[in-house]
Structure 1
Amino acid sequence: MSADQAIKAVLWDFGGVIMTSPFDAFRRYEDERALPRDFLRRVNSTNPHGNAWARFERGEVDAAAFGELFLAESTALGHAIHGRDVLALISGEVRPRMVAALKTVKTRYRIACLTNNMPHGHGPAMTGSPDRAKAVAEVIALFELVVESSKAGVRKPEPAFYERACMLLGIAPTEAVFLDDLGINLKPAAAMGMRTIKVTDPDQALRDLGALIGMEL
């Protein structure tokens, strides 16, 4: 059996894959306030499994607690930033090309969304304009399954997150392709046997995916 025949499901990250990455907004915020480049990402990568970001994505704290925890963590690293400022930056825009690819892939493969998200209005359908919320909801509705960290109580890159997705789909990790924009999230999936694609831009990602599953995307 060829590799493409063995694949049963394509698993997609949301922010940075289906949506534009929040990192661009992070950098604009840093530039406007003369902060070091990628400072916000440094806060989020310090104590990555137990910091404010991780705890919020697992649903362990609410938005108010996240704001204060992030303020303490950023202050400890040299620049005081309240978490509410960060939450205002995480809403991206839907990438039409990726949505079109979702619909095409769905004709032959099962599709699921694996997202680290935040509770209380900061998940896949994050707050924003009504039109934006509607567009996000329409994309979410395309997936057979959506696994959200804030509801599952585990998050990428914790192996239990990927195990939960495969269990709910009834597939083995070796029968899945997973797309994410962060290498740290792809490593555990690859170690479990998933084929992985790091998304740097939609064109590259869809070329790589098309080659794996034998579809023109």
Structure 2
Amino acid sequence: MPIKAVIFDIGGVCVGSPMAGIHRFEQQHGLPRNYINVAIVQQGEHGAFQKLERGEIKLHDFYQDFGAQLSHPSNKEHYRAYLAKSGKVVPSTIPDINVDGKELFTTMMAETARLDPHIFLAIQKLKGNGKFIIAALTNNFDLPEDDLKEAEAMGASAANKLRELFDYFIESRLIGLRKPDPKIYHCACKEIGIQPNEAIFLDDIGMNLRSANKLGMNTIRKLFD
């Protein structure tokens, strides 16, 4: 089937990557590289981060749970397993780690305040071409309504600027589903009015792309600097 729609992830594709913020936080606090990302993923669908992106928990309630989960000693074993699977040296000891949930999340989301000029131009050209439906499919969360400065630091202006370009802007926080759950891709295709194999999907996270590809979507991975 011909391609009818191009679907973009937001964080890490259209704007800076929260992953870069995670790595910066790890460097600033002397944490092993990828320790935090491994800990976030290991929380599964009941983790605070996952709940936030499904709109099940408010931001200010999220911070404490996020920090507590990432500070739990059980993450050390998950990290050792990740290193072993990756063929990397596994340290005999890992020091206790204490993560401030708000500080980490603020550092992560500060990256999303920066638009990627190349992707922004590409979206504009695709939009102007008129041959494709242009959509966004993003895992996101409710920005604070009572603190405009905090919302701005988390990329509010960049998100608003992008919204104007998309024909569809599909948000995990509103539909209660998040990538890589296959249901969110079905939901997106249904809303857009296409079949999965009629779409090209761009994301920066491998598991999100693999899940989409299994449904028949054409996928492109955007690497962050």
Q: 1:7, 1:57 → 2: CA distance?
A: 29
* Residue correspondences, number: 194
User: Which residue type is aligned with residue 91 of structure 1?
Assistant: A
> Contact 1:58/1:118 (CA < 8 Å) preserved in 2?
yes
Unpaired segments of 5 or more residues in structure 1?
Answer: 203-217
Equivalent pairs: percent with the same residue? 33
Aligned pair partner of 2:105 in 87, 96, 101: 87
Q: Does 1:191 align with 2:209?
A: no
Partner Cα separation in structure 2 for residue 184 and residue 138 of structure 1: 27
- CA deviations 1:162-215 (Å, max 9, x no partner) are 11110111100010000000010011110111000111159xxxxxxxxxxxxx
Residues 135 and 23 of structure 1: is their aligned pair in 2 closer, same or farther, counting only changes over 3 Å? Answer: closer
Amino acid at match of 2:151: T
Q: Match for residue 177 of structure 1?
A: 200
Preserved CA contact (<8 Å) 1:11 1:113: yes
Distance 1:7 1:169 in 2: 13
- Normalized against structure 1, the TM-score is what? 0.83
Matched with 1:105 is 126
2:132 aligned with 1:119: no
* Structure 1 stretches of at least 4 aligned residues deviating more than 4 Å after TM superposition: none
Which residue does the alignment assign to 2:191?
Answer: 168
2:170 pairs with 1:151: no
Partners of 2:46 and 2:103 in 1: CA distance: 20
Q: CA deviation at 1:21?
A: 1.0
SS in 2 for 1:10: strand
Q: Distance in 1 between matches of 2:153 and 2:47?
A: 30
Equivalent runs, 1:14-53 vs 2, <5 Å: 14-53=10-49
Deviation at 1:48, TM superposition (A): 2.7
- Provide the rounded CA distance (Å) in 1 between the counterparts of 2:157 and 2:178: 25
Which letter maps to 1:85?
A: E
Hey, what's the Cα distance between the residues in 2 that align with 1:66 and 1:186?
A: 27
Quote the RMSD (CA, aligned, Å). Answer: 2.0
> Does the 8 Å CA contact 2:135/2:169 hold for their aligned counterparts?
yes
For 2:136 and 2:192, locate their aligned partners in 1 and report how far apart those are by CA, in whole Å.
11
Structure 2 portions without partners, runs of 5+: 76-95
Worse-matched range after superposition: 151-160 or 17-26: 17-26
| Other structure's SS at 2:144 match | coil
Q: CA deviation at 1:150?
A: 0.7
List per-residue Cα deviations over 1:16-64 (Å, max 9, x = no partner).
0001112222111111111111122122111332211101100111123
